[in-house]
Every structure is written in structure tokens, then in C-alpha cells.
Structure 1
Amino acid sequence: MIPIGIMASQASGGGGSPPELPDGATAFLDFVNGFYYAGGSTQAISALLGGGFNSGAISGSGMRITPSNGNAPKATGDFLADLTAGLAAGCTILFALNCNNSPGGFLAFIADGANYDVADNAIIASVGGYIEDYNELGFGDSVTGSGLHKEAMTLNRDAGGGDYEYAWSKDGGAAVTQTVTYTPFAVDTVLIGHDGVGTGNTLNDVYVQSITLYPAKLPTDLPALT
């Protein structure tokens, strides 16, 4: 096993970032307001999510993922390109969520294979507050209770000296971190809210309100995001 470290186009106008894009963000999927940005432009959500993605799962509450609705999104197009580039360089991903139950299931599955069963390397983020990989990575801070939650994770930040830092913050809390010494793998699959294998690890009735991608942030910057 190789060691690892874990949306037709409409160009944005005026040569600058649209006002809906959070400051410093590289990509932004706002399911509540129907604003989707990746690859330097606003786009249709159908260009950015594919696989088992069900656009009918989007409402004013966000994008619902639960075993019974079969919504199993996969990052595609410019969203996938932004994610893979970000992961290679180090990035921060912020999820805004509304949970109908206490959080359960996979928030993100980031891998070199199509799903949990076939991937040789993967980073798994649980909505319950934990990040792990197929090697040494394994840490987090428990997220409990229904309702609104914000969860931010920094992945593969180059901390120097051959070290790569991972960090997790939820609901304004101080970040918890872990540092590994191995380099990241080449990502080709990013799944949102599931692991690609049935419904066993699908989010337990969660509305994903938004997903925001940033360049890697320091652990001390994460509480302000969440």
C-alpha cells in the first residue's frame, strides 16, 4: 500500500470574484441559495456533481443526503479539479450542515479509487467529527446533537521538515490536529456524504447547506470559519 497524507458555464463578470463567493475561497457550492462556483466561474450544479447525484434532493434547506433518497454525489468537472489541486497543495474544506438527527455517516470520502471497497488509499471525514486514512491518520473532536453544525478540515498542509498537518474544527471550537510524515496520494475520487458502497455509510438525514474550498488554513484560523 502506498502511504498517504485525505459544477452550462457562466463566467463571473467584471474580471473579479462574484460577491457571493466567500473571501479567499477557491470553490463554493451554496445549495440553499443556488449559487455554485468552481474553476473560476459560476456554473450549473449538474456540471460540478455527478455519479449518483440527485438534483431533486436540493431545496431551500440545502442538499439532503439520507439513505432513503438515494442521493450519492460525486465531485466532477471543475469542482473535482479544484479539489484535487487543493488537496495536492494543501487545502481547507468547510461544510455547513443542518442535521435532522445526531450526526452520523461519511461527510467526505477522498480516494485513489471509486469507492471504499476498491481504493488503495483514502481519507475519510465523518460528520461525527473524525478524520482517518488507511495508514496512521486518525483524530477528531466529536460532533453531537441535531440542528446546525459547521465543520472545517485542513488537509495536507505542508508544515515543513517533511511534515504534513491535518486539522479539524467544529462549531467555533479550537482545532485539533495531527501531523504525519508521509506525502499525499494522487486523488481521483471525491464523494460527498457517502463512501460509494451502498447506504451503510451514507449521511444520516443531513442537509448540506454549503461546501467551501480554501487554500490550506492554519489551525488557529479554523474556529472563525466554523
Structure 2
Amino acid sequence: MSMLLNPYAFATGGGGGGTLPPGATSFLDFVNGFYYAGGSWQSVSAMLGGGFDPSAISGSGMYIDFSNANRPTVIGVLLTQLLAGLAAGVTLLFEVSTASSLGGFLIFISDTGNLDTAGDGIIVSVDGAISDFIALGLYIGTPVSGSGVHKIAITLNRDIGGGDYEYAWSNDGDAAETQSVSYAAPIMSDVTIGHDGAGNGNTLFQTYIRSITIYPAMDPADLPALTA
């Protein structure tokens, strides 16, 4: 199959094209091989490094499981954009697919990229929780469960005034659940996807990440439409 006809040809380099979702600032479409950040289409190898294994990408998405070697770390312009987004408030939309129950870290944002050594961090668990190292602990009443495709939208560090910052979660069209804290997110430097950077058993379980889309922070009322 020619490179022009093969949507996965850009999984390891080159660049790509596609359609950026309206309002998004970054987009990783692992199913179709389209990757966008910093105002232009990129190769996935310019966005993911560390223990990233390009062979984990297929027509089903990017596979992460405790038994495979794929342990991606966000790098380059995507890391810069994501950390700047966190400081300003950011919404992340994940589309995932699993043949089994969900478990593990969906994303881990920290000051070291390693759960064992981090002094500050924000943990998003795929089955329904957002927590940090201070006081945040948002646990979803109706979490993601069961096989199939799921959409999960999370908002981190949205400034709601009065010195308060809001976190929110919606999956599969459900009304968003929220929690606010009285402090801004600490300055972070590292982001891992699907694992904790330390090998402590927090890796995703038999999960394909189909896409990741990054937006400026959204109102919780807008999240159900994003995940429907």
C-alpha cells in the first residue's frame, strides 16, 4: 500500500493532515495517523518519546497494557502546549476502547514524570478519578466501565474566580461531576500517558487510546456533548 493511501504511515515520522476538531489546540488521532500541535501537523514521534513504542499504534489506536513495552512520555511542542494549558486551565478529551474492564492511569502530570519521586502531581485514572498531592479528590459516582468505546472529558485547573479552581469529569454523555480547590495547580514539567513513570502497576489494562484532543478549559455544562 502506498504512503499516500496508508493512514498509519505517519505513525513514526513525516507529518500528516486531517481535520482539527473545532476549538481544539492539539489533536492526536492514533486511528487515522493525524497529529497536530503548536499550529501545525506533526509526526507522532515529535510528540511522544521516552518509552513510546510506535509499533503499538494500529488501526485500533495506540495500545497500552502492563504486558507491552509502550510507555509514552509527552515531549516537544505538545508538552509545552499541554503544560501551558494546565496553567491556564485545560480540557482533555480521550476516546478509548477496551475489550475488558478499565484500570490504570490515563494521564499523570507531575514535576518529575515518576510517581515515586514526584513532589507535585495530578493523576487521572481511567476508571473515574482525578486527584493531586494536596487536597483534590474527585471520584466519579458512575465511572467508566465495560468493554467497547468510551469518551472521557476532563477539565483541570479552570479558574472560577475568588481564588478557586475547578476540576470536572464527564464520560459517555453523563452530566459532569466537579470539584473545586482553593489553589492553582503547581507548576509541572512532565506528562506521561497510560502509566505512572515508575512501574508501580498503574499502567492501563488492555486499552487502546483512539484519540486525545486538547481544548482551552470548558464549562462543565459543555462536557456531556463532548463525550456523547
Q: TM-score, normalised by structure 1?
A: 0.91
Please tell me whether residue 24 in structure 1 is matched to residue 23 in structure 2.
yes
Corresponding position of 2:67: 68
Letter in 2 for 1:208: I
Using the alignment, how far apart are the partners of 1:9 and 1:86 within structure 2? 26
Q: CA deviation at 1:69?
A: 1.1
Counting aligned pairs with the same residue, the percent is 59
Matches within 5 A, 1:160-179: 160-179=161-180
Cα contact 2:18–2:34 (8 A) shared by 1: no
> What does residue range 99-178 of structure 1 map to in structure 2 within 5 Å?
99-141=98-140, 142-178=143-179
**Deviation digits for residues 125-171 of structure 1 (CA, Å, limit 9, x no counterpart):** 00001101111101132211111111000000000010000000000
Asked if the contact 1:110/1:124 (under 8 Å) is kept, the reply is yes
Give the CA deviation at 1:8: 6.2
1:205 corresponds in structure 2 to: 206
Q: Deviations over 1:95-140 (max 9, x none)?
A: 0000121110010000011210011010000000110111110113
Q: Is the 8 A contact 2:121 2:133 kept in 1?
A: yes
Structure 2 partner of 1:83 = 82
- Checking the alignment, whether the CA contact within 8 Å between 2:97 and 2:207 is kept in structure 1 is yes
Contact 2:113/2:190 (<8 A) preserved: yes
RMSD: 1.5
Q: How many residues align?
A: 214
Residues in 2 aligned to 1:159 and 1:45: alpha-carbon distance in whole angstroms = 34
Select the structure with the greater relative contact order (CA < 8 A; seq sep ≥ 6).
1
SS in 1 for 2:211: strand
Q: 8 Å contact 1:9–1:41 — kept in the other structure?
A: no
Q: Distance in 2 between matches of 1:118 and 1:58?
A: 29
Whole-angstrom CA distance in 2 between matches of 1:199 and 1:79: 26
Unpaired segments of 5 or more residues in structure 1?
1-6, 13-17
Deviations 1:12-68 (A, max 9, x none): 9xxxxx761000000000000000000110000000000000000000000000011
The residue aligned with 2:55 is 56
| Distance in 1, Cα, partners of 2:101 & 2:223 | 22
Which residue of structure 2 lines up, in the alignment, with residue 42 of structure 1?
41
Task: Name the residue aligned to 1:181.
Answer: 182
Task: Tell me which amino acid in the other structure corresponds to 2:175.
Answer: A
2:46 is matched by which residue type in structure 1? A
Cα distance, 1:182 vs. partner?
1.0
Separation (CA, whole Å) in 1 of partners of 2:39 and 2:208: 26
Q: Which amino acid aligns with 2:145?
A: T
